[in-house]
Chains A and B, each alone.
Chain A
Amino acid sequence: EPEVTQTPSHQVTQMGQEVILRCVPISNHLYFYWYRQILGQKVEFLVSFYNNEISEKSEIFDDQFSVERPDGSNFTLKIRSTKLEDSAMYFCASTRGRPSIAGELFFGEGSRLTVL
């Protein structure tokens, strides 16, 4: 069964360093997402991506964050200069269409980011 895969599973970085989290969505999906979950808190929407551009982003997704789909298969989240508060589990998700139509988001297992 196709699934969303994420790498790395865990990354430890120093404050101020750049981090790239990678995701391979399900191949025939068109909408891609990043969510994050700070330990013990709710899952928060960061950004959605469709047709090679950002379709929606949250207030969290500031200039320090960027996404791209460099080669038609990978979907990456870059944090330019990490802060302590960026420590969280980051989930990638994909779907064939809007969740209201496609029915569900398919999530990866997450990448845990620890900023020291």
Chain B
Amino acid sequence: AQTVTQSQPEMSVQEAETVTLSCTYDTSESDYYLFWYKQPPSRQMILVIRQEAYKQQNATENRFSVNFQKAAKSFSLKISDSQLGDAAMYFCALTGTASKLTFGTGTRLQVTL
């Protein structure tokens, strides 16, 4: 069984500052993939960033980067230079060889002026 845990129900960050969202996971598979999805108030989830477990290098997409600690089973998301448009619910997700994604409970990010 796979589990994903997001221990921060809500986070707040000031515009232009940096925030880190936490995620831990558990899986028995050796080959797996981790994702961060963003769900803005319009409700459609969109992919933010993706990490293959076999890659040691942390994934980066513009202002978004991850800190992937495989031994600790930790996969945090760092948002740099936060913008008002970053306000959303963020979900951490995991998949292995199965076709489904397993999601965490989400972290609601508020961005303040």
* Chain A interface residues (CB < 8 Å from chain B): 3, 31, 33, 35, 41-45, 48, 50, 55-56, 58, 89, 91, 98-100, 103-105, 107-110
Contacts and interface: CB of A to CB of B under 8 A. Distances in A.
A56 B43 contact: no
A100 B100 contact: no
Interface of B: 31-33, 35, 37, 42-47, 50, 91, 95-106
Contact of A110 (B35, B44, B46, B101): B44
Contacts, number: 64
21 contacts: A31-B99, A35-B103, A43-B103, A45-B100, A45-B101, A45-B103, A50-B99, A91-B45, A99-B33, A99-B95, A99-B99, A99-B101, A100-B32, A100-B97, A103-B50, A104-B35, A104-B50, A105-B47, A105-B101, A107-B37, A107-B46
A107 B45 contact: yes
Nearest to B52: A100
Given A42-B104, A45-B100, A45-B101, A100 B33 contact: yes
B47 A56 contact: no
Contacts of A50: 99
